[in-house]
Amino acid sequence: MSKYLFLLIFLANTCFAQIKNGIYSEIGFAKEQLRTFSFNDGRFQLSMNEHMGVEKLGVGTFKVESGKLILNFEKYPNQESSTYSITEQPGNSGVAHISVVLRDSDNNSLGGRIGISDKDKKPLLSTMTDNKGEGFLAIYTSAPGTYFTISVLGYYAISIPIDKLFVKDSNIFAKLRPATKFYISPNTETYKIIQNKSNSLILLSSKNEKVVLKLN
């Protein structure tokens, strides 16, 4: 094999080996920014504009391998959330009696849903509060589930480990905050690199979604 042919093969295999540090933006038909990637020495940040003014955020490490961009998402730091406080007293063995009061960030009453979810926070059992945001639930130790959950559409949900509530009578005061940000959970996403130029990057997702990014 001639050294020139070897050089061509080497360049073909490494043409996608590096992504230039910087901020890349995907621009929509109305010139709005759909998503923004920031790449910096093996780390990335992702911001996406979703429906109803919600911003989708992700952070983690990345690598380029065999012509693919691999994003390893980590837990997003300093996440916004709703808050709660618990006052409690000894209760009956084998059961948790839970009273809940829901309020928004302006201290207005909120009607919502309270219940039990599994370790993946998927609902198993739930009931509604009244229109004053007040509700009650008795949970037996034999019941399946990992979390006691409080949720209202459009607000950050609250998940409390059930173990903290057993053998007690608990009064939970929850103040829910509007959910303006959605945080991408730890996972891995892979994109095929279609084009990698000095000022642009074209990717293809696993769902065959084409993503055209321009370096700002």
**Which of 1.10.287.110, 3.30.70.260, 2.40.128.280, 2.60.40.10 would CATH assign to domain 3-77+182-215?**
2.40.128.280
**Residue pLDDT tens, the chain, 216 long:** 555 444 444 444 444 458 999 999 987 655 566 889 999 999 999 998 877 678 999 999 999 999 999 999 999 999 999 999 999 988 777 788 999 999 999 999 999 999 999 998 899 999 999 999 999 999 888 888 899 999 999 999 999 999 888 878 999 999 999 999 999 999 999 999 999 998 999 999 999 999 999 998
Give CA–CA dist 130/148, Å, rounded.
Answer: 18
The pLDDT value recorded for residue 30 is 52
Q: Which top CATH class is 83-178?
A: mainly beta
What angle is formed at CA 181 by the lines to CA 19 and CA 189, rounded to 5 degrees?
35
Give the end-to-end CA distance of the chain in Å, rounded to a whole number: 41
Residue range(s) of every CATH 2.40.128.280 domain in the chain? 3-77+182-215
Residue range(s) of every CATH 2.60.40.2190 domain in the chain? 83-178
The bridge status of strand 68-74 relative to strand 55-65 is: antiparallel
Give CA–CA dist 57/182, Å, rounded.
Answer: 6
